[in-house]
Amino acid sequence: MNKLAVLEKINSQMRAVLAKEAELAGDPNDTSVGFEQMRVNYTLGRAFWNEGGPEMAAVCDTVFEVAGKEVAARIYYPTEEAVSAWDAKRGAIPAIVYAHGGGWVVGNLETHDRICRTLSRNSAAIVVAVDYHLAPEAKFPQPIIEVAEVAQRLHEKGAAFGIDGEALGIAGDSGGAHIALATTMYLRERKGEGSLIKSLLLFYGWFGLADSPSKRLLGGPWDGLTEKDWEFYLCLAFEDPDAALADPLANLFLNDLTRNMPACYIAAAKLDPLLDDSALLATICKENGVPCRYEVFEGVIHAFLHYTRMLDAANDALLHAATFYREALGLPDLIR
């Protein structure tokens, strides 16, 4: 009720993407099939969009031990040219920890492979994608703790991977953007590591709003974010979704976001029901002197970052985020 006619407002490239999605087998956003089948559909549905990503100097899979559990991760080393340049300049390479999206319920290292490759290529940094355990098997806040522990390990012992532990950023899309900001708050508030993360790259995340104009006006089967879909994710991710809104690791607006914050790149989609979460976070940052770049990409919907094969906005967002990361850390531009 009262929804905007989103499919009449998307741009021509986004329309072409949705047409291609309709050709592919299965609906990656259909929550009615249950989370187990949805994971299969989501992985299959993302396979086409991950083909042909940038070539890396190396891609290595590894495992971190976190609280008695094995957490898989994939380490993307940028282009050979960039690696050689870093070796000549400082030896160790700056790094970005990446938390994938998927509503805390779906997604893995494969579904976000091209995003991570592109971010690594654009930033000339190492990207460490964390395959955190998913809900409902791993309820909140386990994914946050896992990503935070990996980041802390890289800060302390990143040299083992050729990583400069003093030059860490953290990024994520959708539910992964929530995990990225929550990880930063967890490290600051519970671990006393307020300066560990130097930059945040947040793509169309949910940060705590229970209701908003964008939630009322937007969301549908085209993005898998109807009210019923949203309830599906929250009920699987949190033991008690209502109680979670009182927890500062879930509702991130309960934290003091005016102090001791890393520089923030915030990307939003104009036709995304989560738009107002990004807008509010950006306003808080800008009004309180937190270095911030906020971009709203016109004519696109939630999860647009996946579509770099066909969508200029996806490529622009990843390039702008990478540039922001380098500038926030005062890193040289090694991109050719």
Catalytic residue set: 174, 272, 302
Question: Which amino acid appears at position 235 of this protein?
Answer: C
* Measured distance CA(33)–CA(45) in Å, rounded: 14
Say which DSSP state 49 is in. G
Contact 198, 329 (CB under 8 A): yes
**CB atoms inside a 10 Å sphere around CB 112:** 28
Q: Which residues of 29-62 are buried (b: 16+ CB within 10 A; e: fewer)?
A: bbbeeebeebbebbbebbeebbeebbebbebeee
Q: Which of 81, 103, 52 is nearest to 205 (CA)?
A: 103
* Measured distance CA(106)–CA(301) in Å, rounded: 19
Residues shown for the chain:
336
Q: Which two tokens stand for residue 137?
A: 């098997």
The separation between the first and the last C-alpha atoms of the chain, rounded to the nearest angstrom, is 49
